[in-house]
Amino acid sequence: MESDTEEDSGTGRNQLVGNIGLYYVCYELSKRGWNAMPTARNARGVDIVIYNQKGTVSHTLQVKSLTKRNPAPFGSNLGSLIAEYIFIVNNVYEMPNLYIVDTSTAKPRIHEGIKNGRKSYWFQPRDYDEFKDNWDIIGQGATNGQKL
């Protein structure tokens, strides 16, 4: 599916992949009773803020969206990874897979690479595979007995 149109440019495609992953995560969170609020796109920091139905529990999330089972990129500075949880969505165009890990568990597993003198960080699939559908880590946003 290659095209010379602006909509299919690398940047446009990346933005679509990011949007698909972001809203897929919001959809899945909503099914579990969480109120999910995406933050401003392209803002540094967190991608989604969630809170439970009573408003007594909240969490911050960063979403990494991928078209297939690839390493998840984290740029050149892990210091900007400030969200409590990382959600990785791969295979976004077909049947998305979702991986959920808390940031403190993920950070030591993120690979540091240097290419042409530039540092970059990547979370390899073999290192995030064990966190597939790891919903227990954040639980339900609705109280017990509340039907959604």
Q: How far is CA 31 from CA 106, 116, 130, in A?
A: 25, 44, 22
Q: Which domains does the chain have, with CATH numbers?
A: 6-69+78-103+125-137 (3.40.1350.10)
What is the signed CA dihedral for 85, 86, 87, 90, rounded to 10 degrees? Answer: -170
Query: Using one digit for the tens of pLDDT, what is the confidence trace for 35-85?
Result: 999 998 767 789 999 999 999 999 999 999 999 999 999 999 998 899 999
Residue 24: pLDDT above 90? yes
Residues 99 and 87 sit within 8 Å (Cβ to Cβ): yes
69 alpha carbon, distance to own chain's centre: 14
**Structure-token pair, residue 134:** 């790891």
